[in-house]
Structure 1
Amino acid sequence: MPIAPIPGDSIAAKYAGFEIIDVAYKRVTGTDVPASILLPKGLKAGRTPVTVHWHGGGLVVGQRLFPDWYADWVLDLTLEHNAIAVSPDYRLLPEATGVDILEDAKDLYAWLLKPGNLAQYLPHGVEPDLKHILVTGESAGGWLALQSGFQIPQSVAAVIAHYPMIDMKSAHFTEDYHKELFDPPAPQLDRRLLDDHIRELSGKEVITSRLPPEGVPLLLIAFQSGRFGSMFGQQSELYPLEQLDTVSSFPPLWILHGDKDNVVPVEGTRKFAKAFQSKLPEVPFHLSIGEGGMHGFDNHDASSGLPATLTDWVKPGVELVQRYWPS
């Protein structure tokens, strides 16, 4: 179902190499849950690679085309292979739960993999390769990228998880103590702002995007106060470290994380990497730890004059991915 496009000059500049089609992949109590289909300009007929991108924002804020949270080097990689990108929104905390968000991810793939759903928006003769999808995502989107590998491993060629939220049962997400988030550090906010917001909810709200700065205070308080865990839920299917115990396969995986990340601590990634390699030693895996890197450290500096995919730190991970995607 087509929906109205998102306005904004920054979006137009960021995605100048693409034609963007906005669709609804599901409805929840009368509210569309949208996705953007990014078609490289001049897309030619034939078998065409596909990527899925999950946006970040702590599962509280964010939007599928928010320019600051879609890495330039990922878009470069998409254009380099003349690939179609699908970037969905999903329901957000605290109006939704972790189970709701995971349900949206499952429904996105059910929609995407159903014959004809994507093809109806493509130029004549373009055949999307939905058996070998590259999935990427930053932060909260990194969690959803990992979930994609758990949920539909048979359709995913490779996963790129940027500083993913993994160890959400750790003290960082569940305990109330002084945390300096971001650089420079965000102010410490009154916990009552989040309490009041939750108290006023009817239980029927469906929020599928918040463009920063909207909602950022809710995100900060959820992390600062350790309220994230209670908002998210306790079901084991939500937690990648617990899911590892239940699987026997996973697509090739590249995780990148800055070692100074104070929003999503790198310790969760290190713990997952160790468990992943122990559980699935046969699965191709690459871990990139950015020395001195803060949250979002891989955002490309366009002033370098180099395409983002050619920067040195990206090369090993991209080389791993390109052994399996495009197929």
Structure 2
Amino acid sequence: MSSFPLQIDGYKSKTLDFKSTKDGAIKLDVFYPENVEGTKRTVVLHYHGGFLVVGNRYSFFPYWMVRGCVSRGWILVSPDYRLIPESTAQALLEDSIDAYNWVLSSLPSELGCTVDSVLMAGSSAGGYLALATAASVPKKPSALLLLYGMLDPTFDRYLTPGTTLFGGPPTDTSPILARFPISSADDDREKISSYPVQNLATDARFPLVGALHSDALVPDYMTGIPGLARSIRAEGVEAIPQVHRNLFPLSFGDLKDLPRALLVHGTIDPLVPVDLSTRAADVLGKAGVEVDVQLPTDADHGFDAKAGDVDIEGPDGEKVVAYGSLRHALKFLDSCAGSSA
């Protein structure tokens, strides 16, 4: 049984367990054409956003991307992954890698089709996971589409205390940090992999996102190392222990074999500064990656999800903020489809 947000004639959906943990199964959704059996298909694998702390495979949903898949006969896969702070980012990255490997190894037998190419996409925190996953796996995807991604945990925003998430005055973060402490080796909390947010203003967990920003604790909570952001600020990225350097692909990853990448980021994004994408594009380009960047001047964070259910290539698509960049993104994916690495 699937709760996939779209029902479209000619397409089906399945909710499946792609891995098991001691705290339960982790799920993904597959949205696929009815006549997929015996065919060769492109797969779009999309990682959701939520600052690594909240969200699930239905959160901040990219309807435009799903409808783009439908018009092309592609398959879309949307996985959950474990969340901070009950887990560290090592578990999140492991889940993201396992979802990609599931697409390669298990999706063909599940649907009776051949996977022609995998186009990897991610939004916000999902953009970070897409980049880190692609940098970690030996068989690369055919494309990377990174939407307003939290691409570099060593960015000043995550190392410098005092900047609040929405630009308001600083608040006392101690109650929320006490309620959601950093993960530790003997942490016995249930590791959650799905946390849908109905209302950011009233949600009990979302304030942790603000606390991690205002107190500059993002690298600490990602790794489970108290004080890591402070050490990076003082000593540079060499302060990051070897065992956790896979979580910092722009600083330590072997990037030269990554596929073509498109980065889309609105210049008025108040939550993830556009400099994260422009700097990432510079690093990727210097590593030899073919990089394209779209910087719409009227787009804020999550602009594409805020548009709701829209066919970005149809007449109504022109009403969407930065629709030209989203159409460009689909054309980019078109150019990469069917060219498996």
TM-score, normalising length from structure 1? Answer: 0.83
The RMSD of aligned alpha carbons is 2.7
How far apart are the structure 2 equivalents of 1:40 and 1:220? Answer: 40
Q: Distance in 2 between matches of 1:39 and 1:145?
A: 21
CA contact (8 A) 2:128 2:152 kept: no
Q: Identify if the C-alpha distance between structure 1 residues 104 and 180 changes in structure 2 by more than 3 Å, giving closer, same or farther.
A: closer
Measured in 2, the distance between the counterparts of 1:84 and 1:15 equals: 14
Aligned ranges for residues 206-225 of structure 1 at < 5 Å? 206-212=191-197, 213=199, 214=203, 215-225=205-215
Number of the residue aligned with 1:228: 218
Alpha-carbon distance in 2 for matches of 1:158, 1:303: 22
Q: Which residue of 1 aligns with 2:335?
A: 323
- SS state at 1:258 partner: coil
Query: Using a 3 Å threshold, how does the CA distance of structure 1 residues 140 and 15 change in structure 2: closer, same or farther?
Result: farther
Contact in 2 for aligned 1:48/1:128 (Cα 8 Å): yes
Q: Is 1:40 the equivalent of 2:33?
A: yes
1:224-247 C-alpha deviation (Å, 9 max, x unpaired): 222222101242211131134x23
Counterpart position of 2:231: none
Report the more deviating stretch, 83-92 or 298-307: 298-307
Q: TM-score, with normalisation over the residues of structure 2?
A: 0.80
Matches within 5 A, 1:75-224: 75-114=66-105, 117-122=106-111, 126-129=112-115, 132-152=117-137, 154-181=139-166, 190-199=172-181, 203-204=187-188, 205-212=190-197, 213=199, 214=203, 215-224=205-214
User: Could you say which residue in structure 2 is the equivalent of 1:298?
Assistant: 304
Q: Match of 1:273?
A: 281
% identity of equivalent residues: 24
AA of the residue aligned to 2:154: K
Q: Matches of 1:27 and 1:95 in 2, distance apart? A: 17
Q: Which moved more, 1:54-63 or 1:168-177?
A: 168-177
**Contact 1:167–1:268 (8 Å) recurs in 2:** yes
Deviation of 1:200 after TM superposition, in Å, equals 9.9
Q: Which deviations, in whole Å up to 9, do the C-alpha atoms of 1:146-198 show, x marking residues without a partner?
A: 123213363411110001112211231133213252xxx67865412332223
AA aligned opposite 1:321: L
Q: Structure 1 residues 325, 200: closer, same or farther in 2, change over 3 A?
A: closer
SS in 2 for 1:298: helix
Unpaired runs of at least 5, structure 2: 224-239
Per the alignment, in what secondary structure is the counterpart of residue 176 of structure 1?
coil
5+ residue gaps, structure 1, are none
Q: For the structure 1 residues 60 and 179, does the alpha-carbon distance in structure 2 shift closer, same or farther, using more than 3 Å as the test? A: same
Equivalent-residue separation in structure 2 for 1:199 and 1:270 (angstroms): 32
2:54 to 51, 54, 61: 61
Counterpart residue number, 1:313 = 325
Quote the residue 1:289 is aligned against: 295
Instruction: Tell me the number of residue pairs that the alignment of Structure 1 and Structure 2 aligns.
Output: 305
Deviation at 1:118, TM superposition (A): 1.7
